Structure 1
Amino acid sequence: MKEKDIQNEIRLALNPYAVVFRINVGSFMSETGRMVSTGVPKGFSDLFGVRKSDGRAVFIEVKNEKGKTSKYQDNFLKQMKKAGAIVGVARSGDEAIDIVKANI
């Protein structure tokens, strides 16, 4: 399954538990030839939002069955967890639900 399909599955699965957004990380060339950065740090998680029950921040890195996190993603998740956010790596909607519910 493609990572974008897993992201959509996770977003739907988390709907009862969290308000979740997707963001593209990196930079790209605009139509005018200007480089544009997304403005978030390297390693920022694929999905982020807030848990509905208590407003706690949620950061989920999405990977397919073979995907591995980068050192930047690992560091980002570590820093967000240190700051009190709910963090994890999910390969399915069920895994994402477990991440959000395990930290209640």
Structure 2
Amino acid sequence: MTTEHDIQNDIRVAVSRAGCTIIRTNTGRVMTKDKRMFDAGPPKGWPDLTGFRHSDGKLILIEVKNERGRLRDDQKRFAEFISQYPVLYGVARSVEDALKIVEG
């Protein structure tokens, strides 16, 4: 089975070649000097890849899953929320899926 990380890297290359800028949406949790935990990055449920299409500036948001991956509840809520806006959003399990998303 292909890992989501490998699929994500292949998608980043292909989408970039298709006239888009795309980055991995980094998240993490760190401890501050005064021992508090700090969540870095976007809110829970935000997709793995964020970018824009050069031809028209449309926002691209891609959630990457492998063939057995499922959306978490927070990811489902995000998908429902973002559907009301004119952005290019979708779940991609392959480069082909991602290219369909960016083609709109």
Whether TM exceeds 0.5 here: the answer is: yes
Q: Is residue 60–residue 88 contact of structure 2 (8 Å, CA) maintained in 1?
A: yes
Structure 2 match to 1:29: 30
SS of 2:46's partner is coil
The unaligned stretches of length 5 or more in structure 1 are none
SS of 2:83's partner is helix
**Per-residue deviation, 1:47:** 0.2
The unaligned stretches of length 5 or more in structure 2 are none
What is the aligned residue count? 101
Calculate percent identity across the aligned residue pairs: 40
Structure 2 length-normalised TM: 0.86
Residues 20-58 of structure 1 deviation map (CA, whole Å, 9 limit, x = unaligned): 011133x42338444121241110000011111110111
Q: Is residue 17–residue 52 contact of structure 1 (8 Å, CA) maintained in 2?
A: yes
Q: 1:7 to 1:78 in 2, by over 3 A?
A: same
Residues 60-99 of structure 1 deviation map (CA, whole Å, 9 limit, x = unaligned): 0000110001121122122222121111000111110011
